[in-house]
Amino acid sequence: MEIKLFNTMGRKKQIFRPLKDKKVRMYSCGPTVYDYAHLGHFRAYVFVDILKRVLKYNKYKVKHVMNITDVGHLTSDADTGEDKMEVGAKREGKSVWEIAEFYTKDFFSAMEKLNVQKPDIICKATDHIKEMAEMVQKIIDNGYAYIISDGIYFDTSKLKDYGKLAGFDPKQLKAGARVEVNEEKKNPNDFALWKFTPKGQKRQMEWENEFYFKPEQIDLAKVTAYAKENPNIKIEKVRSKFKLTVKGFPGWHIECSAMSIKYLGKVFDIHTGGIDHIPVHHTNEVAQSKAALKKESVKFWIHNEFVLVNNQKMSKSLQNFYTMHDILNKGFDPLALRYLFLTAHYRSKVNFTWESLNAAQNAYNSLKAKIASLDLNKRGGNKKVKEYKKRFLEIINNDLDTPQAIALMWQVLKDENLGDKQKYELVLDFDSVFGLKLNEAKKEIPKEIIDLAEMRLKARKEKNWKLADEIREKIEAKGYKIEDTEDGYRIFKL
Ligand code: AMP
Ligand code: ZN
């Protein structure tokens, strides 16, 4: 059955087919590891996880690459401000390398709690300086770059359709792109490929690199003046070219272009990220591939919507964020958060409240209790099983419609025409996409308690209220709570 996914490039649902064989090559923009990851990030990576699981459910193999941004992401999405990593290091009085290590670990520990499958390749920007510099050199060679006092910049006016991904006309400067005012830049949307360490500054993360320019690609008078001013810039003539030797660091966008191409090839299937990346980061990635390779690298751009708090994007800069530590301190199961994310489509906003998480936790508990109380000796016909599987596939293959898929799972559990065993098998099958660890539901509530609950259900049906009450007390004495529902009961661990 075909899979349809919403491609930001073109802004419509398209049939997805991998470029080669049955293997999907996919890249996700990873976190900038200068602070704790928050619920917004968690949603982004739960979405990626669902996408991967849906592809696998459709019998595709997936090669998934994710980067760790540990250099070059400045406090503004334009090319001004401090490096976020250096900000984190100053805040905590640690080295940038320590900051990166600490928050990378914290991030993956949260991912594990959310049952997010690890990418096949996790690559750090700082380990790929060489690849990034090589790609910048290609961009220079092809005539898309120029030098100003603080770095090497990409000339966006050289591309006819810069801004195509975001659907904006670069001449109009709309689509909310944050455009930095820098009089030295040729065009407002031009962005840094490489930044020079400013005069008199010593960065913890900086490298010495060489870039070669043809005479017509360089304004020699200007660059000589920059070199006079800043000892981190040197320019010399080497045979027919000018060699620029600089101390500095890569711009943020080049890391994802260089690493995705290194691990997935010049053209690959899917690139993911949050919608904030569309107008700047990903627009610039598209530009870089076109300039360096003369082609677009990505077939499907897929973006998740935001988690909001009081209708504002959850973000570190607004200080309105919650971390995994907050979730755990308040006694919530991280998988209840995963359940909450699944009840919204990845392309719709989620306004996070603790009440919504509480409701998700209750629903998740009920779901597990319902599964725990299934009697696997009760079998039913198989005809409906096939129908349900087909329906499930239709739903998830329709641009990952998880809210509908969750609703279908509840329908299965309530369907009187299915035997308990069939229900159990269907739910576990669906859970290979949901990743809610529903196979553990039965382990959590011991058989002894389920048996008591079944006895009590029988007593209630026979209107033997005294016996029903006695059994309830027994269940409670063993540390479980039982609640009556329309079609049976729910059991919770106290
Ligand atoms: P960053 O560490 O800021 O580069 O973000 C890592 C990923 O999380 C990116 O794909 C972002 O688009 C995504 N992201 C950040 N904040 C949110 C949010 N509030 N809601 C959803 N996704 C987000
Ligand atoms: Zn990226």
Atom number of ligand 1 nearest to Cα 277: 12
- The answer to whether residues 63 and 140 belong to one domain is yes
Q: Residue 467 falls within a domain, yes or no?
A: no
Atom number of ligand 1 nearest to Cα 308: 19
Q: Residue 31 falls within a domain, yes or no?
A: yes
Q: 37: CA distance to ligand 1 center in Å?
A: 9
Q: Is the pLDDT of residue 454 over 60?
A: yes
Q: 326: CA distance to ligand 1 center in Å?
A: 18
Q: Residue 401, SS3?
A: coil
* Per-residue pLDDT tens over the stretch 15-39: 999 999 899 999 999 999 999 999 9
* Per-residue pLDDT tens over the stretch 262-283: 999 999 999 999 999 999 999 9
Nearest to 302 by CA among 268, 341, 274: 274
Lookup result for tokens 């360089």: 218
Length of the chain in terms of residues written: 494
Q: 198: CA distance to ligand 2 center in Å?
A: 25
Which residues have CB under 6 Å of ligand 1? Answer: 29, 31-32, 40-41, 43-44, 273-274, 276-277, 304, 306-307, 313-315
Q: Is the pLDDT of residue 307 over 70?
A: yes
User: Which of 43, 276, 305 is the best mutation target for the ligand 1 pocket, counting ligand atoms within 8 Å of the beta carbon and taking the most?
Assistant: 276
Of 264, 287, 304, which residue sits at a domain end? 304
Q: Residue 140, SS3?
A: helix
Q: Residue 453 falls within a domain, yes or no?
A: no
Q: Residue 479: pLDDT band by 50, 70, 90 thresholds? A: confident
The residues near 9 (Cβ < 8 Å, ≥ 6 apart) are 164, 165, 286, 296, 298, 300, 301
User: Which of 27, 38, 41, 84 is the best mutation target for the ligand 1 pocket, counting ligand atoms within 8 Å of the beta carbon and taking the most?
Assistant: 41
What domain range is 358 assigned to?
354-444
Of 271, 304, 337, which residue sits at a domain end? 304
Q: Residue 486: pLDDT band by 50, 70, 90 thresholds? A: low
Q: Report residue 41 CA to chain centroid gap.
A: 6
Phi-psi region of 317 (alpha: psi -120 to 50; beta: other; left: phi over 0): alpha
Count of domains observed in the chain:
2
CATH classification at residue 440: 1.20.120.1910
Q: What does the alpha-carbon distance between residue 410 and residue 390 come to, in Å, rounded to a whole number?
A: 16
Q: Residue 211 falls within a domain, yes or no?
A: yes
pLDDT of 171 reads 67
Strand duo 312-313 + 307-309: pairing: antiparallel
